[in-house]
Structure 1
């Protein structure tokens, strides 16, 4: 049997990582190139000439004389951590298929748990915002799903307490190979909610395959073809070949979350889903995941801890 090219790709070794990003200077130069690929531009007056204040790692505009840092105006703003630790966190989070908890990050990097939690959630915020305006197209398998464990004596399935509903969608090729996924927390499986989701995340003209849940009929209202397969739910839906990839993704997601995190709080659920989604959608080339994430990080606006902890629920 031929090996899966994605699964057996070379990846990015620890030695290669430290050779490229092992010093503070290397990390600074890399961020500079990704933030200003066409050369420095002052964020205050747009002038392109500057001098570097080496002691404090600041850049001073030659025209307005105002100073800025490589992290100012980005998700890294006001960080007290060395850039090398940010890059190490990016490496650990992107190269592990199941992800990395803040507790493991705290132990791996040798920083406090609170610092690791902030770093982790800021990088997940970058992943979430980076994919937020990208739509699925072509053939799309869609299913309803929930995060959260069962409570003894509580209601099971749809409408259960302490569960976070989300839509799982997998874009596939005409040959049936998965290309990208979309995992989106929703308020519930109501027609208006799915209509709003469809308008934001589906390309007009796509073909959507769903089970018999009535709310998914809303995809037709935005100009998508809808193939509705009534399969009765439970094991019948899991074994339905038309839902093979969406069920596979959901199985891998739940295995990843159970093995990596003690719990996923509802108000942070979208970040955790977006982390899994981000890695899946870029799984074809593990070697460029760090440059892509760092490039996105310097284009994501700052998020103070107070806002970070409010969550999205």
Structure 2
């Protein structure tokens, strides 16, 4: 097979993965035909998707995991169980970790019973082998926003995996151990790392704080009643991070979630802190106008009460 043919084949696989993710009914009854169409070195569709889960780009991985679940008759429990065992066994090898962490998080969302069979191993690895590691000496001196080490990226991916494990597609409220995740997020929001003993640069700590604040925003959809006031305050103060890139990304996420009705308007207090830093009411006025178009009167009342509390 020529390089061009190989690239075309992979593009077709990517397309089929997305079709299986978003329109699985279109593939119903065609698995045998797909096997014949996509055979490569005698691999079946499941094996091709599994390879993407192990070695693909993170976006590919997300689609591949959901595709495995979509094309199987048992919601993917059998195929995801086999994949999950292989993923956990591969953690210690520390190869393709971005893809593996993405796969683990997606499996947690799609098949929580499967994830829980070895959850302690996954959480233990992310905590001890990723989050508790210090950056190399040369990375600690980084100061530009794009100067993020590979380890910092892995820490962010690890946090995302832990967060996804508390956002399953079904029965999120039945998950146990949420306080442990909150403890990790609180430490990172406070000091930029899981522990004061961990060495990293200012820009990496800013990246970590941003990742944790975005994690709180995502979790609030199902767990807002469990998020304590101190973590809420730490989250909305993310807009005070000295890096403008972090401020823009965080405030953009807050605005998008509120507009889509995925976030309580109280989180708009983040705009108040940002406006206060620039001694301007323009952002507050603009935010209030946008909020008035997308939330209920009660939501606006809650927002105003939190603004008052934040300034008291």
Q: Which has the higher contact order (CA 8 A, sep 6+)?
A: 1
Q: Which has the higher helix share?
A: 2
**Normalising by structure 1, what TM-score?**
0.30
**Normalising by structure 2, what TM-score?**
0.30
